């Protein structure tokens, strides 16, 4: 399982280092999910995308302060 943990840590670092770019990916992914579900789960998708975007915004803000 340590391989999975290492991979997750590398992913977190990549996202933290590129938070602005990752926010764009979240937006594109949310739009694709909405299209795939035919709008049936837009509220849930928006909620998840909003939480992810807020996290990434905070990370980008922290990076700018460094």
The pTM (predicted TM-score) of the whole model is: 0.74
- pLDDT range class, residue 33, cuts 50, 70, 90: very high
HEC assignment per residue over the chain:
CHHHHHHHHHHHHHHHHCHHHHHHHHHHHHHHHHHHHCCCCHHHHHHHHHHHHHHHHHHHHHHHHC
Q: Is the pLDDT of residue 64 over 60?
A: yes
In this prediction, residue 49 carries a pLDDT of 96
In the predicted model, is pLDDT for residue 58 greater than 60?
yes
């Amino acid at each position: 399982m340590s391989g999975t943990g290492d991979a997750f840590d590398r992913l977190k670092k990549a996202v933290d280092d590129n938070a602005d770019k990752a926010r764009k990916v979240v937006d594109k992914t949310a739009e694709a999910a909405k299209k795939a579900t035919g709008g049936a789960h837009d509220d849930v998708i928006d909620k998840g995308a909003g939480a992810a975007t807020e996290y990434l915004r905070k990370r980008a803000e922290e990076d700018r302060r460094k």
